[in-house]
Amino acid sequence: GCGTLAFPDAFNGAGGLAVGLAMVAICAMLCGCSLLICGLTCAITKSSEFYEIARILLGRWAEIMAQSFLVVSNIGTCILYLIIVGDQLELVSYRLFGKEFYCDNWLVQREIMITVASFVVIYPLCLVKR
């Protein structure tokens, strides 16, 4: 995804290629262990949803917290992608219309572009039935 584009800068900030690769390997092992634990827990509890596992193992409060964290995470991801779309539309409008139109016109400002893209593209897709 988009995070892959940040790898060169992250490796540089971590101390170089060797340190960066070691950190990626450690994170991959931790993710693998987490998935293994989730899979075993699903098999033991016979549940397929993360929040169901939280309810069975830790109670109703944990179920509500797990659902809340998933909602916040999903909303944050959506906002992040809207920001990326706005950045890209801003660059496209700059290339299409030129510097004079881009600087003087409110129609091509980033906030307006994000709002228009949300209503023209994303909102109709939300209305489609499964």
> Per-residue confidence of the chain (130 residues) as pLDDT tens digits?
667 778 888 888 888 889 989 999 999 999 999 999 989 998 998 888 888 888 998 999 999 999 999 999 999 998 888 888 888 887 887 787 777 666 666 666 778 888 888 888 888 888 888 7
Torsion of CA 78, 83, 84, 85, to 10 degrees: 90
Q: What pLDDT does residue 2 have?
A: 64
Q: C-alpha distances in angstroms, 11 versus 6, 20, 67?
A: 9, 5, 33
Contacts of 56 (CB under 8 A, 6+ apart): 45, 47
